[in-house]
Structures are given as structure tokens and as C-alpha cells.
Amino acid sequence: MSLVKLQSRLENTLPDGRLEVLPVPGYRAIKLALINADFSTGPLPQAVMNAVIEKPAYWAFCWGSGIALARYLRTHKEIVSGLRVLDLGSGSGIVAIAACLNEARLVVACDTDPDARLAIEVNAAINSVSIVTTGNASGHFDIALLADVLYDPCNQEILEKSRTLADTVLVADSRVKQAPQGFRQFDSMSAPTFPNLGEFDEFRTVRFFRSH
Ligand SMILES: C[S@@+](CC[C@H](N)C(=O)[O-])C[C@H]1O[C@@H](n2cnc3c(N)ncnc32)[C@H](O)[C@@H]1O
């Protein structure tokens, strides 16, 4: 079963990590295979630290921005309903799954990490939704959704790429405080990462930006 395969991918980075299928706080209808909620946040052995830096298992967490955007789609279904949706930097697939549950016509989840693509497939099956996965998005979409992808300045190019792929781009991010050029902030929401990473409070406010 793919969950077993995904568990072994997690152990490549975090040998003591254990996958659990958990309901997402604030959107409990979505269940995801994530790292055990009681995982140790204490100092890691050097070898594990190196593995975390080299190959971070972002997909084993549901990031605050992903949770916030999924919740926003639930209350503003019209953002995705009937549309072709691209989730860029999909991680666990939380946003792609929320788009499916809120009646998107087609959902493509893009992540450069092959382990994330496996996680998206596992999580799509858990939630009985259909998502196309890719490591390199192409084609044309009505809307592109980016949740917590701009954490690294090197990822800025993904924002430019998203504008060539979709008519509208919607960004949810707790680290970006000013609207990127060509975007305007339209809302915000508080949501911590799950399982809890003990992030500073300032990273719990997720801002929503929309291209214009
Ligand atoms: C912090 S995680 C956020 C995952 C998810 N959106 C959420 O909110 O839980 C960022 C994800 O973006 C992916 N990523 C980074 N750069 C990317 C790129 N250029 N194209 C596609 N995915 C990328 C990473 O592999 C990682 O899975």
C-alpha cells in the first residue's frame, strides 16, 4: 500500500517520524497522512539535521497557509467551483483536496518533490478525490493557488511562472507581509501549522493576495 511506501520516504529524513491519518484542524472533513502529532521538536542528531536540511519533508506537515486557504475555499466556493485549478507547491495536497471538495472541475497539484507527489496521491485516495500530480506544471488554468510557497527567496520565480499558467493567481502566505507586485491583499486568517511546529505567533497570520 502507498501509505507504507510514504512512511519509508518519511524515515529517509526523520527516522523516528510516524505517519498518522489525521483530520485537519478547522477542516476536519479532510484527513491527511501527516507526521505524528507528538513528534519530538527537541534538538535533532546531526545526521538527522543534515537530512532535514537536504531533503525537508514539507509534505508531512499541513502548513498554516494551506489550512487557511482550504478553509477560505470552503466558505468561498465560487473561487474554484467549476474551474480548472492548479495548486502550485502542493505539499500534502491540502489545497488541491479542498479545491476538489469545493467542486473544481479539474485539479492539478504540482510539487517538485517526488515524495510530495506520492503524499498527494495517498491523501487524494484517503479523501476519495481525483487529482492529477506533476513535477512541472504546464497548460492553462483558470486559477493557480499558492499556499506557503514563498518561504525561500529562490522560490519567487514560481510566482512569475504561475502568472503565465493561470488567468488568476491567489497566494496565501504567513511570511509575506506586503502584496507582491501586481497583487493586492484581500483578506487574512489565523492558522498554525499542523502538527504544531511551535512557530512564532507572527507566522500564524496568513495573508491572502490576489493578482489583478
Ligand atoms: C511549505 S510547503 C507548503 C505545502 C502546502 N501548500 C501547504 O500549505 O501545506 C512548500 C511546498 O512547495 C514545494 N515547492 C517549492 N518550490 C517549488 C517549485 N518551484 N515548484 C513546485 N513546488 C515547489 C515544496 O517541495 C513544498 O512541498
Per residue in 126-153, pLDDT (tens digit) is 999 999 999 999 999 999 999 999 988 8
Ligand 1 center from residue 47 Cα (angstroms): 24
Element (H, E) at 185: strand 183-190
DSSP-H helix ranges across the chain:
2-13, 46-54, 64-75, 94-101, 114-126, 156-165
pLDDT of residue 53: 80
Give me the residue label for grid cell 492539478.
Answer: 108
The CATH number assigned to the domain with range 2-211 reads 3.40.50.150
**What is the position in ligand 1's atom list of the atom closest to the CA of 59?**
27
Ligand 1 in reach of 123 Cβ (< 6 A): no
State the pTM of this model: 0.95
Instruction: Indicate the range of 16-30, 86-100, 190-204 predicted with least confidence.
Output: 190-204
Q: Whose CA is nearest to atom 13 of ligand 1?
A: 89
- The answer to whether the CB of 120 is under 6 A from ligand 1 is no
Per-residue confidence (pLDDT) for residue 1, from 0 to 100:
59
For residue 115 and ligand 1, the question of a CB distance below 6 A is answered with: no
Closest among 80, 102, 64, 68 to 166, alpha carbons compared: 80
Percent pLDDT > 70 in the chain is 100
**Residues belonging to the chain:** 212
CA–CA dist 83, 138 (Å, integer): 16
Closest CA to 150 of 203, 96, 77, 86: 203
Task: Answer yes or no: is the C-beta of 110 below 6 A from any ligand 1 atom.
Answer: yes
Q: What is the pLDDT of residues 180-204, one digit of tens each?
A: 999 999 999 999 999 987 777 778 8
Identify the burial level of 61 via C-beta atoms within 10 angstroms of its C-beta, where 0-12 means exposed, 13-18 middle and 19 or more buried: buried
- Supply φ then ψ for residue 33, to 5 degrees: -80, 110
Ligand 1 mean position, distance from CA 111 (Å): 6
What is the dihedral sign for C-alpha 17, 152, 75, 144?
Answer: negative
* Residue 63 to residue 7: CA distance in whole angstroms: 19
- 65 CA closest ligand 1 atom index: 8
Predicted local distance difference test score (pLDDT) of residue 162? 97
pLDDT at 49: 80
C-alpha cell at 108: 492539478
Confidence bin at 38 (pLDDT 50/70/90): confident
Residue 97 CA to chain centroid, in angstroms?
10
Short-list 39, 10, 41, CA closest to 122:
10
The mean of the pLDDT values for the chain is 94
Q: How remote is the CA of residue 137 from the centroid of ligand 1, in Å?
A: 13
Residue 209 pLDDT > 80, yes or no? Answer: yes
Mean pLDDT of 167-181: 95
Grid coordinates of 189: 486568517
How buried is residue 7: exposed, middle or buried, by Cβ count under 10 Å (0-12/13-18/19+)? middle
Q: pLDDT > 90: what percent of the chain? A: 81
Nearest CA to ligand 1 atom 11: 89
The verdict on the CB of residue 63 being under 6 Å from ligand 1 is yes
Cα 61 from chain centre: 8
Q: Is the pLDDT of residue 87 over 90?
A: yes
Does ligand 1 have an atom closer than 6 angstroms to the CB of 97? no
